[in-house]
Amino acid sequence: MIPSYPYVSDDFLGQVRHCREKYGIGPVCYAANTDTGMLPGRDLNGDELFSAAMTDMESAHKLGCKVMRVQYLLGPAVLERLIPYAEMYDIKMGVEIHNPETPSTPAIQNYLKVIRESGSKHIGLIPDFGLLATAPNVPHWNRALAAGATWETLELAARLRVDNVPLDEAQKKLAEANVHPAVFGALQGMYGFVQFSRNPDYEGLASIVPYTFEYHGKFHWLDEYNREPSIPYEKILPIIKASDFSGYIMAEFENEADLDGYKMLKSFLAMEKKILDIHD
């Protein structure tokens, strides 16, 4: 979205200021990209990741953002090194918790240890609600059906995933069942960034609220009743409402089916307001 990323040009800054004046709203969170693979032959080391994060922080400050999303590949040690600069710029750096990670997985617990022990109010977490999915992604499912897959074979793929059958074994079982090739594409998503579980980590989500700066309201599709079939918002949002969280839930629409994004956003906001009992 920023043509000069990771730097903010004066021209882009002018556009942002114009929109702020015209619409009365401006940027809240700067989404930094922790890209460890920028060099051929090796990953970036800690010093290089620190330098890149500093550039992102300066850009966030220039735009007036008070929150900066960093990705978990940054590493707890680098996050800790950034604390004095985050405090200087008064920017809260939140590590994104994205599927397949959850608040209770080792990688996130390592971050949480640093966050707690530092005592700083400027490093924390930003959960993506997609990590609490309980059912397959509807656009992926529908795309496989349209390509020729059957409902029964997709259900078989979903059962293999929810039973934690290893991917290579699940692929072998589906091949033995002679399923349509489209089923394998849907299965890959189920083992990737659209995983789901019978037992979402609600307890983990509640435990990290004091260290959370923002939430990513992930959604893929909403039905005519403003329901997201794969992510149980009716259970997620009450956890946030019952806490003392003060911040934003950013709507994050993964438009994988070429849908009307504006219509989907309106449905998502209507769903949130109903669950949270918010009246205009």
Along the 280 residues of the chain, how does pLDDT read in single tens digits? 899 999 999 999 999 999 999 999 999 999 999 999 999 999 999 999 999 999 999 999 999 999 999 999 999 999 999 999 999 999 999 999 998 899 999 999 999 999 999 999 999 999 999 999 999 989 999 999 999 999 999 999 999 999 999 999 999 999 999 999 999 999 999 998 889 999 999 999 999 999 999 999 999 999 999 999 999 999 999 999 999 999 999 999 999 888 899 999 999 999 999 999 988 7
d(CA 1, CA 52): 18
* Closest to 66 measured CA to CA, from 246, 252, 209, 278: 246
Please state the pTM of the whole predicted model: 0.93
Phi first, then psi: what are they for 135, rounded to 5°? -150, 160
d(CA 213, CA 210): 8
Residue 55: strand, helix, or coil: helix
d(CA 211, CA 207): 9
* Cβ 110 vs Cβ 72: under 8 Å: no
